Amino acid sequence: MHTNLAASKSYKNCGSLPAVSVGPALTIRPWESQDGDPANPERVFGAPVQEILARRADQTGALLALDANRFALTGPVTAMGRSMALLHYIRVQARDARAADREWLDEVYRLLGQRQPGSYMRTGSVARSAPRAH
């Protein structure tokens, strides 16, 4: 079951949904044991993994290229969508991230930015694009 948060306008009343869709382009949910190894999955939300772009060194997780120009970020939480939606998600997550998480998010941000032809994000950093919350 997917819930469109933009349409619901009530983030607190979502309960414990198995997956949450933020807008039309991004799906987020916790990684579950039946999903397999988050560093080496065969599928994410039913979509076949085309390529493992990076694996997280300090814990289990990966950045994956999927079909139909979609990407997934796996770990304790899984996010899947088009690159621009995933880049936005990464910027939001990086605002309050621990140093190790922020390092990983910066690497993922850079790798996804490189996949944007002609993009200004090609050498970007999540640290420069996401000011810390106060």
Of the pLDDT bands very low, low, confident and very high (cuts 50, 70, 90), residue 19 is low
Contact in structure between 18 and 1 (CB atoms under 8 Å): yes
Answer yes or no: is pLDDT of 11 > 50. Answer: no
105: nearest Cα among 70, 82, 129: 129
Contacts of 59-65 with C-beta under 8 Å, sequence gap 24+, read 61/104, 62/38, 63/108, 63/111, 63/112, 65/115
pLDDT at 68: 82
The token pair at 99 is 């140093």
Q: HSE, CB side, 13 Å, CA atoms: give it for residue 6.
A: 7
Mean pLDDT of all residues in 45-64: 95
Q: What is the pLDDT of residue 2?
A: 44
If you compute the radius of gyration of the chain from its CA atoms, what whole number of angstroms results? 14
Determine the pLDDT at residue 124. 53
Q: Give pLDDT, residue 130.
A: 47
Rounded distance, CA 86 to CA 122, Å?
A: 15
